Amino acid sequence: MQSRPVPFAAIVAVSSLVSALSVGRLSETGSETTSFTAPRRAASSEQGRHLFAQSCAHCHGNDARGNGEDGDGPDLLGLRVGTARIAAVIRKGIPGEMPSFAKKHSTSEISDLTAYLRSLR
Protein backbone atom coordinates (compact mmCIF):
# COMPACT_ATOMS: atom_id res chain seq x y z
CA MET A 1 0.00 0.00 0.00
CA GLN A 2 1.39 3.37 -1.00
CA SER A 3 1.25 6.35 1.29
CA ARG A 4 -0.44 9.42 -0.09
CA PRO A 5 1.25 12.79 0.09
CA VAL A 6 -0.10 15.08 2.80
CA PRO A 7 -2.00 17.99 1.26
CA PHE A 8 -0.32 21.36 1.67
CA ALA A 9 -3.48 22.83 3.24
CA ALA A 10 -3.35 20.24 6.05
CA ILE A 11 0.25 21.13 6.82
CA VAL A 12 -0.61 24.83 6.93
CA ALA A 13 -3.63 24.19 9.20
CA VAL A 14 -1.60 22.14 11.70
CA SER A 15 1.22 24.68 11.62
CA SER A 16 -1.24 27.52 12.29
CA LEU A 17 -2.79 25.65 15.21
CA VAL A 18 0.60 24.95 16.79
CA SER A 19 1.61 28.57 16.30
CA ALA A 20 -1.61 29.87 17.85
CA LEU A 21 -1.20 27.62 20.86
CA SER A 22 2.40 28.65 21.41
CA VAL A 23 1.79 32.40 21.03
CA GLY A 24 -1.55 32.77 22.74
CA ARG A 25 -4.57 30.61 23.18
CA LEU A 26 -7.57 29.86 21.06
CA SER A 27 -10.96 30.98 22.22
CA GLU A 28 -13.90 28.60 22.09
CA THR A 29 -14.95 30.17 18.79
CA GLY A 30 -11.58 29.26 17.28
CA SER A 31 -10.26 32.79 16.91
CA GLU A 32 -6.93 33.68 18.42
CA THR A 33 -6.86 35.84 21.53
CA THR A 34 -4.02 38.08 22.56
CA SER A 35 -3.76 36.98 26.17
CA PHE A 36 -0.83 34.78 27.02
CA THR A 37 -0.55 32.55 30.03
CA ALA A 38 2.97 31.44 30.83
CA PRO A 39 3.29 27.75 31.52
CA ARG A 40 3.22 26.98 35.22
CA ARG A 41 6.16 25.30 36.79
CA ALA A 42 5.71 22.63 39.40
CA ALA A 43 5.83 23.92 42.96
CA SER A 44 9.01 22.97 44.79
CA SER A 45 8.75 21.98 48.44
CA GLU A 46 12.56 22.24 48.69
CA GLN A 47 12.47 25.86 47.51
CA GLY A 48 9.52 26.39 49.86
CA ARG A 49 11.59 25.09 52.78
CA HIS A 50 14.26 27.68 51.98
CA LEU A 51 11.65 30.47 51.76
CA PHE A 52 10.05 29.29 55.02
CA ALA A 53 13.40 29.58 56.80
CA GLN A 54 13.76 33.15 55.54
CA SER A 55 10.23 34.46 56.04
CA CYS A 56 8.25 32.25 58.40
CA ALA A 57 10.53 30.45 60.87
CA HIS A 58 10.99 33.47 63.14
CA CYS A 59 7.30 33.19 64.12
CA HIS A 60 6.45 29.55 63.35
CA GLY A 61 9.78 28.03 64.41
CA ASN A 62 12.38 26.28 62.27
CA ASP A 63 10.40 23.06 62.52
CA ALA A 64 7.03 24.81 61.85
CA ARG A 65 5.71 23.63 65.22
CA GLY A 66 4.97 27.18 66.34
CA ASN A 67 6.41 29.55 68.91
CA GLY A 68 9.41 30.81 66.99
CA GLU A 69 12.02 33.09 68.54
CA ASP A 70 10.30 36.34 67.44
CA GLY A 71 6.70 35.37 67.86
CA ASP A 72 4.18 32.83 68.80
CA GLY A 73 2.93 31.70 65.41
CA PRO A 74 0.78 28.56 65.42
CA ASP A 75 1.89 25.02 64.68
CA LEU A 76 1.72 24.44 60.91
CA LEU A 77 2.18 20.67 60.91
CA GLY A 78 -0.73 18.69 59.49
CA LEU A 79 -2.79 21.68 58.39
CA ARG A 80 -6.42 20.73 57.79
CA VAL A 81 -7.26 23.41 55.27
CA GLY A 82 -7.05 23.39 51.50
CA THR A 83 -4.06 24.43 49.44
CA ALA A 84 -5.89 27.50 48.14
CA ARG A 85 -6.62 28.61 51.71
CA ILE A 86 -2.97 28.23 52.74
CA ALA A 87 -1.86 30.29 49.74
CA ALA A 88 -4.50 32.95 50.47
CA VAL A 89 -3.35 33.31 54.08
CA ILE A 90 0.28 33.65 52.98
CA ARG A 91 -0.69 36.18 50.31
CA LYS A 92 -3.18 38.27 52.37
CA GLY A 93 -2.05 37.60 55.93
CA ILE A 94 -4.37 37.64 58.93
CA PRO A 95 -5.24 41.12 60.28
CA GLY A 96 -3.63 41.66 63.67
CA GLU A 97 -1.90 38.25 63.60
CA MET A 98 0.17 37.70 60.46
CA PRO A 99 1.49 40.12 57.82
CA SER A 100 0.72 39.81 54.13
CA PHE A 101 3.53 38.35 52.04
CA ALA A 102 2.06 39.31 48.65
CA LYS A 103 4.66 42.05 48.11
CA LYS A 104 7.57 39.96 49.36
CA HIS A 105 6.86 36.70 47.52
CA SER A 106 5.74 36.00 43.96
CA THR A 107 2.88 33.68 43.11
CA SER A 108 5.32 30.87 42.32
CA GLU A 109 7.14 31.41 45.62
CA ILE A 110 3.83 31.25 47.50
CA SER A 111 3.15 27.98 45.64
CA ASP A 112 6.54 26.72 46.82
CA LEU A 113 5.77 27.71 50.42
CA THR A 114 2.40 25.98 50.17
CA ALA A 115 4.03 22.83 48.74
CA TYR A 116 6.48 22.84 51.63
CA LEU A 117 3.74 23.22 54.24
CA ARG A 118 1.78 20.42 52.55
CA SER A 119 4.86 18.17 52.82
CA LEU A 120 5.02 18.54 56.62
CA ARG A 121 3.49 15.83 58.77
Q: Show Cβ contacts of residue 4 under 8 Å, excluding neighbours closer than 6 positions.
A: none
**Average pLDDT of the residues in 70-85:** 90
Q: In the prediction, which pLDDT does 5 show?
A: 60
62 near 70, Cβ under 8 Å? Answer: no
Considering the chain, what is the average pLDDT of its residues? Answer: 78
Give the pLDDT confidence of 30-68 residue by residue, as tens digits.
Answer: 444 445 454 566 779 999 999 999 999 999 999 999 987
Domains of the chain in sequence order: 45-119 (1.10.760.10)
Q: Output helix, strand, coil percentages for the chain, rounded to the nearest 5.
A: 45, 5, 50
Judged against a pLDDT cut of 90, whether residue 88 lies above it is answered with yes
